[in-house]
Amino acid sequence: MTKFTGWWGDCFHSKNASEQVRNIKEFAGWVKANPNVDFYWPNYAAAPWHIQCVTKIGDDDVEMNFWPHKSKGQFKYEKAIEPLSAFVDELVKRQVEAEKEEDFDVVE
């Protein structure tokens, strides 16, 4: 496992692929906006295009997979979501729903 520094230039992309560079820069910006989440390559040597992280949604640890050059994210064992902005929207939606579901004491 290799930690992702947040620098877009560390990410895999095809040479002269401006769309992939834009996608990677968007991903790197999102990573920097979430400094409490550790992003990493699970196997950089075999798959430098694949980055993961684990975050909390409610009480659950949720593993997420990313292919920054393709602007694609995936909740483990689910269908991938494109573009990254749609994945982030889904993540926020799940976090908000998890907060709503938390039990709380009612004071009478």
pLDDT, one tens digit per residue, over 22-40 is 999 999 999 999 999 999 9
Whether the per-residue pLDDT at 103 is higher than 80: the answer is: no
53 band by pLDDT with thresholds 50, 70 and 90: very high
pLDDT at 100: 84
What DSSP character marks residue 81?
A: B
- How far apart are alpha carbons 39 and 85 in whole angstroms? 17
Whether the per-residue pLDDT at 15 is higher than 90: the answer is: no
pTM of the model: 0.88
- How far apart are alpha carbons 68 and 32 in whole angstroms? 14
pLDDT at 33: 94
Residue 2's DSSP bridge partners are 41
104 band by pLDDT with thresholds 50, 70 and 90: low
Whether the per-residue pLDDT at 99 is higher than 90: the answer is: no
Of 78, 58, 74, give the one whose Cα is nearest residue 66: 74
Mean pLDDT taken over the chain: 92
Residue 81's DSSP bridge partners are 73
